[in-house]
């Protein structure tokens, strides 16, 4: 048996831990051979492969990024894409594919598996934690740790100058990183994409925080939007790769706060720092367990499934379940955290 492995979409701490676990268990317990595909779906699309064996995965457990590289290439949008993928898999004598990715990458795997008979097993990843069907994705815990540490540091500089500090964190569609890091870091306002915010209300919380002689910290997810009519945050600009760019809610909010409260405000955009570097112990643990269970699913011939965390168990679910809707922050949970605002 030869198993192909690819990592697609935005990178995420823990990807290498999955690859290592898959290869270690596959070689040691089942005697499988592996082929790594470079840069997500671009690898099978163009037949671009990399050696993947025990020596290749040595020492990669604590390393961020992915030794296989990643991209957002979608073979369903390329001419003859599906045919080329199938042809290249056959050429490489790959019998099954382990696909490690988020919504888009797994969406492709679901279609290739359900409609075109490609034998895929999925592993969910994203720092955003917005994939349904799994309680947590690896990468999220690391990102929350990095954002929390940044907030802790920003408190002291904010206090020294009695300024507002706005921290913009990742999360285009879901506010999980903002919510968890904001709560852990003792933020005074947390703004998430799931609920449009009222700038006047935010300024009210800021003013009351200053009255208590503290400098406020505002954590805002990059996809958070003010209520209708106040501004258009997404300018819809596409970069050269065709991705939509978000246009700085943090910067915009700091300016509004200065205008409306008369207090000085600064913005820190954490950006890709949240995605880079070494994975936390929890993410290494989760990613490793996902890898071990994914290769087991291949051995069982359980294709079209994805591994997922439910409580403390790793289970298999139909891959389509992860991609049919996003897991967002529900209003009750957001309201619960609201007790700390202001």
Q: How far apart are CA 18 and CA 4, in angstroms?
A: 13
171 is in an annotated binding site: yes
209 is in an annotated binding site: no
| CA contacts within 13 A on the Cβ side of 120 | 33
Q: How far is the CB of 143 from ligand F6P (least distance, A)?
A: 8
Strands 33-37 and 49-52: antiparallel
266 is in an annotated binding site: yes
Phi, psi of 239, rounded to the nearest 5 degrees: -80, -175
Q: How far is the CB of 103 from ligand F6P (least distance, A)?
A: 8
Joined tokens for residue 278: 């070494």
- Which lies closer to ligand F6P via its Cβ, residue 86 or residue 172? 172
Q: How far is the CB of 248 from ligand F6P (least distance, A)?
A: 12
Q: Cα dist. 160→7, 147, 165, 220 in Å?
A: 44, 20, 12, 22
Q: Which residues form the interface with ligand F6P (CB under 6 A)?
A: 10, 102, 126-128, 170-172, 222, 243, 275
- Give the active site residue among 39, 128, 130, 283: 128
Joined tokens for residue 72: 């957002």
- Which lies closer to ligand F6P via its Cβ, residue 69 or residue 216? 69
- Which lies closer to ligand F6P via its Cβ, residue 10 or residue 64? 10
- Which lies closer to ligand F6P via its Cβ, residue 166 or residue 297? 166
Task: Report the candidate in 163, 145, 156, 103 with the shortest Cα–Cα distance to residue 270.
Answer: 145
161 is in an annotated binding site: no
231 is in an annotated binding site: no
Q: How far apart are CA 138 and CA 142, in angstroms?
A: 8
- 128 catalytically annotated: yes
43 is in an annotated binding site: no
The closest residue (CB) to ligand F6P is 170
Q: How far is the CB of 169 from ligand F6P (least distance, A)?
A: 8
DSSP structure class, residue 279: P
CA angle 23/29/35 to nearest 5° reads 30
Q: How far is the CB of 42 from ligand F6P (least distance, A)?
A: 15
Per the DSSP assignment, residues forming a β-bridge with 307 are 316
- Which lies closer to ligand F6P via its Cβ, residue 194 or residue 222? 222
Task: Report the candidate in 39, 49, 32 with the shortest Cα–Cα distance to residue 72.
Answer: 39
Binding residues, by number, are: 10, 103, 126-128, 163, 170-172, 222, 266, 272-275
Binding residues for diphosphate, by number, are: 10
Q: Active-site residue numbers?
A: 128
Binding residues for substrate, by number, are: 126-128, 163, 170-172, 222, 266, 272-275
């Amino acid at each position: 048996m030869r198993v192909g492995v690819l990592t697609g979409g935005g990178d995420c701490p823990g990807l290498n831990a999955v690859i290592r676990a898959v290869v270690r268990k596959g070689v040691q317990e089942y005697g499988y051979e592996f082929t790594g595909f470079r840069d997500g779906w671009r690898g099978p699309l163009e037949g671009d492969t990399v050696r993947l064996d025990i020596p290749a995965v040595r020492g990669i457990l604590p390393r961020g990024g992915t030794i296989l590289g990643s991209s957002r290439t979608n073979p369903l949008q390329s001419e003859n894409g599906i045919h080329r993928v199938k042809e290249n898999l056959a050429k490489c004598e790959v019998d099954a594919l382990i696909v490690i990715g988020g919504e888009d990458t797994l969406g492709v795997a679901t279609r290739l598996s359900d409609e075109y008979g490609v034998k895929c097993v999925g592993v969910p990843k994203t720092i955003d934690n917005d994939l349904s069907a799994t309680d947590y994705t690896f990468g999220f815990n690391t990102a929350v740790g990095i954002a929390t540490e940044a907030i802790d540091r920003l408190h002291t500089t904010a206090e020294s100058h009695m300024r507002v500090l706005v921290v913009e964190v990742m999360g285009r569609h879901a506010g999980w990183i903002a919510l968890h890091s904001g709560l852990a870091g003792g933020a005074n306002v947390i703004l998430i994409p799931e609920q449009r915010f009222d700038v006047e209300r935010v300024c009210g919380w800021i003013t009351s925080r200053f009255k208590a002689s503290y400098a406020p910290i505002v954590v805002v997810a990059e996809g958070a939007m003010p209520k209708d009519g106040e501004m258009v945050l997404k300018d819809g600009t596409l970069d050269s790769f065709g991705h939509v760019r978000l246009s700085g809610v943090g910067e915009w909010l700091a300016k509004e706060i200065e205008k409306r409260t008369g207090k000085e405000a600064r913005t820190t955009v954490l950006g890709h720092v949240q995605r880079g570097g070494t994975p936390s112990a929890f993410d290494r643990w989760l990613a490793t367990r996902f890898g071990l269970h994914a290769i087991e699913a291949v051995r069982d011939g359980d294709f079209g499934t994805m591994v997922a965390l439910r409580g403390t168990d790793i289970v298999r679910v139909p891959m389509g379940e992860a991609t049919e809707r996003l897991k967002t922050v529900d209003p009750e949970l957001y309201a619960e955290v609201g007790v700390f605002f202001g």
